[in-house]
Every structure is written in structure tokens, then in C-alpha cells.
Amino acid sequence: MIRKRKTKAVKRAKKRSAKPTKKKLPRPSTTRSTAGPGFDFEDRVGAWLLLQALTGQPLPGVEGIGTRLQMQTEALGWSIDDILLTTTVSPHDPRHLAISCKSNVQVSGIGTPTEVGQQWAVELGLSQDELLDRLVKHLEASGNK
């Protein structure tokens, strides 16, 4: 009887190992799946910009006719990478508006997140203190504190 039990156990093991197992290869996560709720706000801003461009409305912060709207542009070398709006003023004069979309308050009288302040200071050629002074003055003038 002991032999029969071993034989049955061996047969069961062979049956189990005889079936090929299909393993799913891991797929890299998409930007959308890891972005969280912020991508909804980003999509809304992108849709608004696209609507403005398609209807010939003025675009904020940039002159010209909207020619391209891109999202998640870090791979293209843009450090402000959520939305990139490209416009054309003339055939050889493209303009770009890079947007970092945040669905919550990032700038206040208290300050800015370090990376936001650093990037704005670089873009405007200011020190972070000069940038903060300008932002605070603007916020106070607009009634936001």
C-alpha cells in the first residue's frame, strides 16, 4: 500500500508539472495609471487650451496660432512637462507655453514648492527671493493671500 501511495503522488506531481504555465509578462505602468487624480485636472486644462486654439481665441501667455498640444513631455526634455502648447507667430517663429498642472494651490503668500520656484526663477532670470517678492506682490494685488 505504501508503494501505491507513492506512485499516485508521483503521478499527481507529473500531471501538475506537465501542464505549461502561462506567465504574464509585466508591463510598464502608463503615466495615466500612476498619475492619480491630478490627471483629470490636467486633461481639463488641455481640453480648454485645445478649444481656445481651435476656435481662434487668444491663448494665455503666448502669442500666435495654436499648432500643437502635447502632454507629459519630460521625455522630450521639458522640465515643466504636464502640458506643452506650441504656437506659430510666423512660419519660422514657433512659441512654446510649458505648463505644470496642479489641482491644488501651489503658490501663496507663504511661498512656492522648491521645484516650482527654482524653475520659474531660471526661466525669468531671477533669484528665488526676487521671484517670491514678485509673486507675493502679484497675489496681494489680486486679493489672494
Three-class DSSP labels, 67-93: EEEEECCHHHCCCCCCEEEEEEEECCE
50 and 97, same domain (yes or no): yes
Residue 51's pLDDT is 93
Cα–Cα distance between 41 and 103 in angstroms, integer? 6
97 and 127, same domain (yes or no): no
72 and 116, same domain (yes or no): no
Residue 139's pLDDT is 75
111 and 79, same domain (yes or no): no
Domain holding 62, by residue range, is 39-102
Q: Digits of tens for pLDDT over the chain (145 positions)? A: 555 555 666 566 655 655 566 777 777 666 556 666 667 788 889 999 999 999 988 888 888 889 999 998 888 888 778 899 999 988 889 899 888 887 777 777 676 667 666 777 777 788 778 877 887 887 787 765 5
94 and 109, same domain (yes or no): no
Taking each helix axis from N to C end, the angle separating 128-141 and 114-124, rounded to the nearest 10 degrees, works out to 100
Say if residue 131 is exposed, middle or buried (CB neighbours under 10 Å; 0-12, 13-18, 19+). Answer: buried
Q: How much helix, strand and coil, in percent to the nearest 5, is found in the chain?
A: 45, 15, 35
Residue 122: inside a domain, yes or no?
Answer: yes
Residue 89: inside a domain, yes or no?
Answer: yes
93 and 44, same domain (yes or no): yes
Residue 114: inside a domain, yes or no?
Answer: yes
96 and 115, same domain (yes or no): no
Say how many CA atoms lie within 13 Å of 24 toward its Cβ: 3
Residue 29: inside a domain, yes or no?
Answer: no
127 and 85, same domain (yes or no): no
51 and 95, same domain (yes or no): yes
Residue 68's pLDDT is 93
96 and 63, same domain (yes or no): yes
Residue 76's pLDDT is 87
